[in-house]
Amino acid sequence: MALKFTLLFLPLLAHIVNSQQPTTFDIGKYGGKPNANIAEALSNAWKEACATTTPSTIVVPKETFLLNQLTLAGPCKAPIELQVQGTIRAPSDYTQLPDKNAEWITINYVDHLTISGGGIFDGQGKEAWTKNDCGKNPNCVKLPINLSFNFITNSIIHDVTTQDSKNFHVNVIGCKNVTFQQFTVSAPGESINTDGLHIAKSEGIYVLESVIKTGDDCISVGDGMKELHIEKVTCGPGHGISVGSLGKGATEEDVTGIYVKNCTFTGTQNGIRVKTWPSAPAKLKITGLHYEDIIMDNVQNPIIIDQEYCPWNQCNLDSPSLIKISEMTVKNIKGTSASPVAVSFVCSKTVPCENVEMGDIDLTYSGNQGPITTKCSNIKPTFVGKQNPPICANATQSS
């Protein structure tokens, strides 16, 4: 992983080293003042930096700034860095946003983008969470995502924090070769729909050495995802790392190459999860899921495939999911389950799960709801090493 990450950014590093030092664009020179809206100042600094033919750095100093809403767009003529040293705060009242259909901060069509600086993007979402009824109301108000990245390539976001988003913290769509490293997501466990990172229709995305605390999925994977590498991530509170939910859209694209390694889940609702909707039109395939060297600390559902995902009774369980899950490995998973069902594989009756391999599972349960057990339907995994508890007792065994 380290070698691949280094190789990925060698061209960018060489370009910077062999060029003159980046030109600095401090938002203070564009009228940006602490405790005031910096949308215009940051926009003007971006436009000038983006037009520069040598590397540039936009600096948000170590102060607290307000920002009502902003879209930053490329393509830029050279590598560009947004260095946030201070705190940028969104309006607590989402109705104050100029464009009710847009996200808080959106960045589009940029190659060789860096976001760094140790600062905080504060979505101030507490008020919005109390008004979020999207689980029950299909016509609910759209709440803004903190950071939306669209069609970003060969880029890195590191050493910054996204905090208390009103909706997802980060949305990644149509991106390629993008790394989140030493990235922090911070929101309370009771915050609604505050996924840490939602990543879809992208390729070659890395989430490394990061801490995610939130009220929903730490990382959620949407359709069209290829080659997602998640390593040394700490998740909790939250709902775990989820592929899906998938299946509701008829045109959803295949998901392949998801790697989760050396991660820790603490007090989460789920650990590693795949979820697809029944009675849904999509027929995509989910292949190449690899989970390895993972610690579960008091996790409600440590390992789960749920192809009957149907929150708030929004679907018909009589029509099984049409999504095929195959080529999945789960190896060296250790720790504690907060429920007696440590492993739950509920696969589709129509297209059962295939080629699932389990190796060296060691999970314990110390509660009073009965002995530790597993639940399996429409799956026959193969096994290597030891399994504690015994998984899918009637499944086939390999030597």
* Residue 158 structure tokens: 């590191």
Q: What is the pLDDT of residue 97?
A: 86
Q: What is the pLDDT of residue 341?
A: 96
Task: Evaluate whether 177 touches 152 at the Cβ level (below 8 Å).
Answer: no
Q: What is the pLDDT of residue 18?
A: 41
Mean pLDDT, residues 192-221 taken together: 98
Mean pLDDT, residues 92-102 taken together: 87
Question: What's the CA gap between 286 and 49, in Å, rounded?
Answer: 41
Q: For 53-96, what is each residue's pLDDT tens digit?
A: 999 999 999 999 999 999 999 999 999 999 999 999 999 998 88
pLDDT category of residue 1 using cuts at 50, 70 and 90: very low
Q: Give phi and psi for 214, each to the nearest 5.
A: -160, 180
Cα–Cα distance list, 311 to 189, 244, 264 (Å): 19, 13, 26
* 136: Cα separation from own chain's centroid: 24
Q: What is the pLDDT of residue 290?
A: 98
Q: Say whether pLDDT at 399 is over 50.
A: no
Q: In the chain, pLDDT over 90 holds for what percent of residues?
A: 84
Mean pLDDT, residues 171-194 taken together: 97
Active-site residue (options: 112, 198, 229, 239):
239
- What mean pLDDT value characterizes the chain? 92
Q: Say whether pLDDT at 391 is over 80.
A: yes
Q: In the chain, pLDDT over 70 holds for what percent of residues?
A: 93
Question: What's the CA gap between 275 and 134, in Å, rounded?
Answer: 19
* Residue 396 structure tokens: 């086939």
224: region left, alpha or beta (phi > 0 left; psi from -120 to 50 alpha): left
Place of tokens 């998801």: 258
- Comparison of pLDDT for 24 and 140, the residue scoring more: 24
Q: For 291-304, what is each residue's pLDDT tens digit?
A: 999 999 999 999 99
Task: Evaluate whether 257 touches 228 at the Cβ level (below 8 Å).
Answer: yes
Strands 161-163 and 105-108: unpaired
Q: Is residue 95 classed as helix, strand or coil in its secondary structure? A: helix
Q: Is residue 274 classed as helix, strand or coil in its secondary structure? A: strand
For the ranges 250-264, 356-370, 383-397, which has the lowest average pLDDT?
383-397
**CA-derived radius of gyration, the chain:** 22
* Known active-site residue 239: yes
Q: Say whether pLDDT at 25 is over 60.
A: yes
Q: Say whether pLDDT at 208 is over 50.
A: yes
Mean pLDDT, residues 103-122 taken together: 98
Q: Say whether pLDDT at 390 is over 80.
A: yes
Spatial CB neighbours of 79, under 8 Å, sequence gap ≥ 6:
12, 15, 16, 22, 55, 56, 112, 113, 114
Q: Say whether pLDDT at 14 is over 60.
A: no
- Which 8-state DSSP code applies to residue 198? E
